Amino acid sequence: MDRLWLFEPLREDWRELGLAVLSTFSGEAGRRLVFSFAYVATRTGHGLSITDELKQVGEAAPRFLDDVLRGVEERALRLGVVRQGGVAREVEIGGSEESYSELVAEYEIETEEDADL
């Protein structure tokens, strides 16, 4: 993984919408594959339901990643997945396993299932 952009989740009552964009190193030197990851989490009386989607949205040289990200943001705004004026948190991973592990540790949470163990 090269870079990751994390958008602040939108919360409405019992539902949460989230979006992240990530770039990965492609097999072609100097190119990046760009993916979007969107999810909807809904809590009901029956528990937590999560639907998600990961899709490739582009391929670009690193200098054009900001342009690709703007396109993803515009589509997400039209779909109501991100907040108007919301800014994504950009995280530089640079292929570093240590940087990735530090990021994951920031977001680790105890789930209800873990609490029962």
The domain locations on the chain are 3-115
Digit-coded pLDDT (tens) for 53-70:
999 988 989 888 888 888
Q: Is residue 109 very low, low, confident or very high in pLDDT (cuts 50, 70, 90)?
A: low
Question: Strand, coil or helix: what is 8?
Answer: coil
User: Please, what is the end-to-end C-alpha distance for the chain in angstroms?
Assistant: 32
Please write the tens of the pLDDT for every residue from 73-102: 888 888 777 777 667 888 899 889 999 888
Nearest of 3, 81, 72 to residue 39 by alpha carbon: 81
